[in-house]
Amino acid sequence: MNIGLDSIAFSTSKYFFALENFAAHRGVAFEKYSNGIGQSKMSVFPPNEDIVTIAIDAAQKAVSKIEDASSIDLLIFATESSFDLSKAAGIYVHHFLNLREDCRVMEIKQACYSATAALQLAKAFVHQNPSSKVLVVGSDIVKYSPGSSGEPTQGGAAVAFVISADPRIMIIENGSGVHTNDIMDFWRPVSESEAIFDGKLSAYNYLKSLDISFARYLKKTNRTISDIDYVCFHAPFGKMARKGAQQIRWQKSIDDTLIYNSVIGNSCSASLYICLISLLDNGSDLANSRIGLYSYGSGSVAEYFSGIICEKYKSCITPEENRRILEDRHEISFEEYELFCRNQFPLESDTYENSGTFKLKAIENKRRVYLTA
């Protein structure tokens, strides 16, 4: 049975901060960001937008593209920027998408790897229940402390995809290479709103885990690198993905995979799938191509796996709509950027634009209240 992605969509903030402006305010040469890390803009989020509002937007788009939304009976919400240790953020998505009452919902976490964990669980679930569809949402807003080396790599986005039998976009192949090791390269204790990280150690471990998981993938599938047509790498910033390509001696261009990420910034669990959408939208004809995918989540779990692009995938993707999401954003000033970074609460008087049809209206008695935007 073929199982894989039947639809895919993303969402991000309506606001971005240009790294050229950021560089000028931090007294750093812009070339460090444009060439050195490979980024030009970062998505930044107003107080009435959170991982739930962008997740709802991405999920509404992904679900609108499938034939039978009533067959979704599992929703997995993957995130590392969760705001609740008990209630799954996916419950809000389930509610506002009016999914079936007997649809299971759960939240899953392992840093930026979490959406890939969800994808593999979803595949196994559909294997057991071939008439089921699973909605996977990866949603993260990435914040580092001001002045830290990670600050120019902030960003955020949500990606949503529906996993089903007989998919129309990409079949997920059996056989992958996994590498797990206990390392303190990036983490966020429950008391903290920003991640703590050792940037150099994280980059080192990203590459080491790539070496190991890729070698395991090749061995398990009995393939060589020449059996792979395109590769998407988890992209905390574009240059990290390019270093990944270098590490495995990948000779072909990965430019098409990084177009969206370079103007969104790191979106953690969503990042690898933003790269996949970027490739689907900007690559020429990918039908029947094998795509290698490298997922890395600090802490750490890494997985290299692959998919085959379906014959008629072009009729199921929306490149114009996706480009418009990024082109229609508003640029903010440094002062607004600082304000957005302050983790303020939403106010009734706020007039910020939202990514989609829902906004975070308020946090009342520690309850998050969402409303139509």
- Catalytic amino acids? 80, 112, 234
Cβ burial, residue 327 (10 Å; 0-12/13-18/19+): exposed
Helix (H) or strand (E) holding 335: helix 334-340
From the CB of 317, what's the least distance to ligand CAA, in Å? 25
Helices and strands: H and E segment counts in the chain: 12, 17
Phi, psi angles (nearest 5°) of residue 359? -135, 155
Six-digit token string for 280: 């689907």
Q: Which is nearer to ligand CAA, 265 or 356 (CB)?
A: 265
Q: Which is nearer to ligand CAA, 47 or 150 (CB)?
A: 150
CA-to-CA distance for 94 and 75, rounded, in angstroms? Answer: 7
Side-chain half-sphere exposure of 170, counting CA atoms within 13 A: 26
From the CB of 256, what's the least distance to ligand CAA, in Å? 20
From the CB of 28, what's the least distance to ligand CAA, in Å? 8
Q: Which is nearer to ligand CAA, 246 or 344 (CB)?
A: 246
Q: Which is nearer to ligand CAA, 39 or 60 (CB)?
A: 39
Q: Which is nearer to ligand CAA, 91 or 187 (CB)?
A: 187
The total of other beta-carbon atoms located within 10 Å of residue 60's CB is 19
From the CB of 18, what's the least distance to ligand CAA, in Å? 17
Six-digit token string for 101: 């009452």
Residue ranges in contact with ligand CAA by CB under 6 A: 29, 31-32, 35-37, 112, 149-150, 153, 186, 197, 199-200, 202-203, 206, 234, 236-237, 240, 266, 268, 296, 298
From the CB of 35, what's the least distance to ligand CAA, in Å? 4
Six-digit token string for 130: 């071939």
43: which strand partners? 16
Q: Which is nearer to ligand CAA, 72 or 301 (CB)?
A: 301
Helix (H, G, I), strand (E, B) or coil at 337: helix
Six-digit token string for 365: 């008695």
Helix (H, G, I), strand (E, B) or coil at 306: strand
CA-to-CA distance for 329 and 352, rounded, in angstroms? Answer: 12
Measured in whole angstroms, the distance separating CA 27 from the mean position of its chain's CA atoms is: 30
Six-digit token string for 144: 């580092």
For residue 244, the one-letter residue type is G
Residue with tokens 């009734």: 348
Helix (H) or strand (E) holding 92: helix 90-96
In sequence order, the 6+-apart residues with CB closer than 8 A to the CB of 353 are: 14, 15, 46, 330, 373
Q: Which is nearer to ligand CAA, 56 or 240 (CB)?
A: 240
In the complex, which residue's CB is closest to ligand CAA?
36
